[in-house]
Amino acid sequence: MPIILWTDALVFVLIACALATARYVSRREYLLSSWRRVGESRAGMAALTVLTMFVMIGLLDSLHYRPRLEAVAGKLANATNAANGYSTEVRSALDMLLMPLKSATEKTYSAPLATHLYARETVELPDGTQARVFPRLRHGGVHLKEPAQDWTRDVAARILLGLVFAVLAGLTFAGIAVRVAAQHWHVPWWTARQRICRGETRFAWNAVLVTLAALLLIAGPVVALAGGYHVFGTDKVGQDVLYLTLKSIRTGLVIGTITTLAMLPFAVALGIVAGYIGGWVDDVIQYVYTTLNSIPSVLLIAAAVLMMQVVIDTHPDWFATAAQRADARLLALCLILGVTSWTGLCRLLRAETLKLRELEYVQAAQAFGASSVRIMGRHILPNVMHIVLIAVVIDFSGLVLAEAVLSYIGIGVDPSTISFGTMINTARLELAREPVVWWSLVAAFVFMFVLVLAANLFSDAVRDAFDPRLAGRQVAPATQGQAA
């Protein structure tokens, strides 16, 4: 049974908005030309390729359903859920794909690609004595008869296989790109190939293809290995770390995008109104955002999240499943982050509107007797949209970082929600362990770093293309800086 969580719905709204924007942009030459400049930026396009991959994973993870219970289980399940025969567990399309990883839990820690557990266990030997040994894993490398001998060969073979597939897939993609480009330019395919290879294209095809190749060359072996091993090891309760990191992506993306989506209408409307109308309206709006701004954002978030937690905890009956409860908490976190972060953009837009208000084309519209609403909508809004766009892409990376910090402090997502923050939070003491367990942290670090770096590079490209003047705006909502 498909199920749409609140955040899923908003993700879909977001996609609809993105598509509508794309349509709008495609009909306006001045916007297209700016986007073309983004397309020319090699770093920006490489980053976009990486981001697209993350977004795909996040989208797969946003298609939720509740699996039909087996006949036997259906009998056992009681009351509310048994009636319709669906499990209370909410899964996503990504879970379905990753089912081998998700279900392959071990007892506790195991190192990446290991065949044995990372902790000794007391086992009874055939001769009846007891010994403390590293037992074999239940899933990782279970197909190997003699791990000591076969491991190297098996791993190498799998990596090779993965690489072969990666090369094939990469060539296919490149072929498609060359064909499309050749058709577009009306040249034979070898000319198109030559142009792309030499970087003579306006759109940074070569950056996209090189990034794609790199991603495939990493993903291929990982996929091949994941069939038989825990590529990134397992955590304390034996969950596959690769699975956890992939699941974390959606949480990061949701926080980075929905928060902005939630605050955008406020920031834009209030900023423009304050700047254009002025007078007491301006005073009130300024008062509201100065007041909100004056509370250090971490503390405001902490207070709001604590209160929200009380609400959720005292009303357990609102949510049918744990996933829905966790989702409600995620959404609430987004809204709270939104409330604390709209002030910056609002202030920026107010200042820009003050400038635009004095411009002569606005006065010309006034001379036609155009109404204020009309002027704000037709003249001011289109001329501040680039600031909004830049703010959105810049805030994204800051929010992803903020999520980790907030979850660590205990005011982030629900502890049952898999996110970079919860991963780090559970793993942070592992470095102090002897022997060191490093893989959870490293996996979380690598994925988060790549995601945020890609977002930062992309936002740089967007900013340069749309407004080099804004290059100085500081990165994140103050959360990051204050918490550190």
Partner 1 sequence: MSLGMSLLSVDSLRTSLTSASGIVRAVDGVSFEVAAGETFALLGESGCGKSMTALSLMRLLPDAGVTAGGRVLLGGRDLMALPETDMREVRGREMAMIFQEPATSLNPVMTVGQQIVEVLDRHTVLRGPAARRHALELVEAVGIPDPAQRLDTYPFQLSGGMKQRVMIAIALAGSPGLLIADEPTTALDVTIQAQVLELLGRLQRERGMGMLLISHDLGIVSQLAHRVGVMYAGELVEVAARQAFFTSPCHPYSRKLFAALPRPEQRGGVLETIAGSVPPLTTIFTGCRFADRCQNAWARCTEEVPAWHTVADGHIVRCHLFDTVGDAGADITSTSSPPLVATADVASQPSGVPLLEAADLKVHFPIRKGVFKRIAGQVKAVDGVSLTLTSGRTLALVGESGCGKTTVGKALLQLLRPTGGSVRFGGEELTTLPPDHLRTLRADMQIVFQDPYGSLDPRMRVGDIIGEGMAALGKLSAVISKDTRMDALLARVGLSAGMRGRYPHEFSGGQRQRIAIARALAVEPRLLVCDEPTSALDVSVQAQILNLLKELQSTLGLAYLFITHNIAVVEHLAHEVAVMYLGRIVEQGKVEEILGEPKHPYTEALLSAVPRIDAAAGRPVIVLKGDMPSPANPPSGCHFHPRCPRAMPVCTVVYPPETRLGETRRVCCHLFGERVTAPVSAAGISSRREEA
Partner 2 sequence: MIAYIIRRLLYAIPILIGVNLLTFALFFVVNTPDDMARMQLGIKRVTPEAIQKWKAERGYDRPLIYNAAAEGVGKMTHTIFFEKSVKLFVLDFGRADDGRDIGHEIRSRMGPSLAIAVPVFLLGLFVTVTFALLLAFFRATYLDFWGVVACVAMMSISSLFYIIGGQYLVSKVWHLVPISGYAGGLDAARFLILPVMISVVAGIGSSARWYRTIFLEEIGKDYVRTARAKGLSELAVLFRHVLKNAMIPILTGVVVVIPLLFMGSLLVESFFGIPGLGSYTIDAINAQDFAVVRSMVFIGSLLYIIGLLLTDLSYTLVDPRVRLQ
Q: Does 420 bind partner 2 (CB under 8 A)?
A: yes
Neighbours of 93 (CB within 10 A): 15
**C-beta separation of 240 from 104 below 8 A:** yes
Q: Does 471 bind partner 2 (CB under 8 A)?
A: yes
Contact pattern for partner 2 over residues 435 through 464, marking x by CB under 8 A: ------x---x--xx--xx-xxx--x----
Helix axes 322-357, 241-277, angle to 10 degrees: 30
> What does the alpha-carbon distance between residue 366 and residue 368 come to, in Å, rounded to a whole number?
5
> What does the alpha-carbon distance between residue 58 and residue 330 come to, in Å, rounded to a whole number?
15
Q: Please state the closest distance from residue 180 (CB atom) to partner 1, in A.
A: 26
Q: Please state the closest distance from residue 303 (CB atom) to partner 2, in A.
A: 5
Candidates 313, 317, 358, 360; binder of partner 2 (CB under 8 A) is: 313
Residue ranges in contact with partner 1 by CB under 8 A: 28-30, 359-361, 363-370, 374, 378-379, 382-383
Q: Please state the closest distance from residue 324 (CB atom) to partner 2, in A.
A: 18
> What does the alpha-carbon distance between residue 429 and residue 443 come to, in Å, rounded to a whole number?
15
Q: Please state the closest distance from residue 219 (CB atom) to partner 2, in A.
A: 21
| Joined tokens for residue 46 | 């490489």
Helix axes 439-466, 420-427, angle to 10 degrees: 150
Q: Which of partner 1, partner 2, none lies near 471, with the C-beta cut-off 5 to 8 A by kind?
A: partner 2
Q: Which of partner 1, partner 2, none lies near 311, with the C-beta cut-off 5 to 8 A by kind?
A: partner 2
Q: Which of partner 2, partner 1, none lies near 360, with the C-beta cut-off 5 to 8 A by kind?
A: partner 1
Q: Does 307 bind partner 2 (CB under 8 A)?
A: yes
Q: Does 284 bind partner 2 (CB under 8 A)?
A: no
> What does the alpha-carbon distance between residue 323 and residue 340 come to, in Å, rounded to a whole number?
26
Q: Does 227 bind partner 2 (CB under 8 A)?
A: no
Sequence-distant (6+) residues with CB within 8 A of 409 are 298, 302, 483
> What does the alpha-carbon distance between residue 431 and residue 306 come to, in Å, rounded to a whole number?
29
Q: Does 123 bind partner 2 (CB under 8 A)?
A: no
Closest CA to 39 of 466, 326, 438: 466
Q: Please state the closest distance from residue 394 (CB atom) to partner 2, in A.
A: 11
Q: Does 409 bind partner 2 (CB under 8 A)?
A: yes
Q: Which of partner 1, partner 2, none lies near 300, with the C-beta cut-off 5 to 8 A by kind?
A: partner 2
> What does the alpha-carbon distance between residue 391 and residue 297 come to, in Å, rounded to a whole number?
18
Q: Does 397 bind partner 2 (CB under 8 A)?
A: yes
